[in-house]
Every structure is written in structure tokens, then in C-alpha cells.
Amino acid sequence: MMHRILILASGSGSLAQAVIDADELEIEIVAVLSDQKDAQVLKRATLAGIPTQVLPVLGSRELWNRAIIERVQAYKPDLVVSAGFMRILPPDFVNRFPTINSHPALLPEFPGAHAVRDALEAGVRVTGTTVHWVDAGVDTGPIITQMEVPVLVGDDEASLHERIKKVERGLIVATIALILPTLERHV
């Protein structure tokens, strides 16, 4: 029996696409949920025949927190994959659903939304990508896997981020493969 995966994403969906295309994973992607109605990831999911939902933050954060838990619970995922989802998930969510996140830095260095820019401003010679368990903090959950990416002379935020994304796509798939045997399955 396959594991049920739900993907959360806010943007272009290149990380989600890597998971969608990963034939080596024994998974069923049960849905892609986004907080952005125009996110490219929704088109990618639709093309792959995966159900999509949009849950924008319109009202109070408390109402949104309850709504995302209810919507995700309806799909009974074994694992939630945050693939470029630019929202902090509520503690009730991460306590209920095993959730991993891909982050474009070598955590614990450079947490938050501007990791690539922060790494460049710090002048590091090596940065990378981390896949970690999501907890109630911002990029503070236990690290599962990491890969280094060198910072090249002349790198700007866009060029460095693009090289990190290439590594990130492979690492997210490898990490899912690594943790699948440890997960409970929902039937």
C-alpha cells in the first residue's frame, strides 16, 4: 500500500514537481494545498491529475489555522510536505501531522524567508539546503538531511538560489524515501 502525501506550496512548484515526478517513491499525492490562488504549483498539480485546494489567509489567523487543520485532516495524509509553503503552521497542525520542510540554507544558520540573501550578506563560502521536521518555530525542527552548495564568486541571490533549488529537488525526494518506512499509514 502506498503512503498518502499532501503537499503545501505557495509558489512556482518546482519542489512539488520533483515529488510528483519521483517514480521511485511509493506514494499517492492526495492533494496540493496553496495559500496563493495564482500559484503555479496549482497548475502543475492539475496537469498531474492531483486535487488542489486554495486556502488564502483572509480573515483571522485563528480561523485560518482551524481551516488548514480541517482541510488536511480530510485527506488523512501519512506525511505533509511543505515545498515552498511560505506560512508558519500552527502548533496544533504540526503536532497532528508529520510535516517536513525544505529550506534553502544549512540550518540552524539562516532560518526564515530570506535565507539565500542572508547567507550572501554574511559572506559564507558554503551554504546549502536542509530538510527538517516542522515544529512550532521558524525552521527550528529537527534536521533530517542536509547538502552543501558552494557560494561562487559573482553569485547574486538569484544565481545562488537557482543552484540551491537544483540540489533541493533531489534532496527532498531522497529524504521522503528515507523516512517513508518510519511512517504510519492511514487507511
Query: Which are the catalytic amino acids?
Result: 103
Helices (H), the chain: 14-20, 40-47, 61-75, 91-96, 115-122, 157-179
131 φψ region: left (φ > 0), alpha (ψ -120 to 50), beta (else): beta
Q: In degrees, to the nearest 5, what angle opens at C-alpha 20 toward C-alphas 105 and 107?
A: 10
Count of alpha carbons within 13 Å of 34, Cβ hemisphere only?
Answer: 22
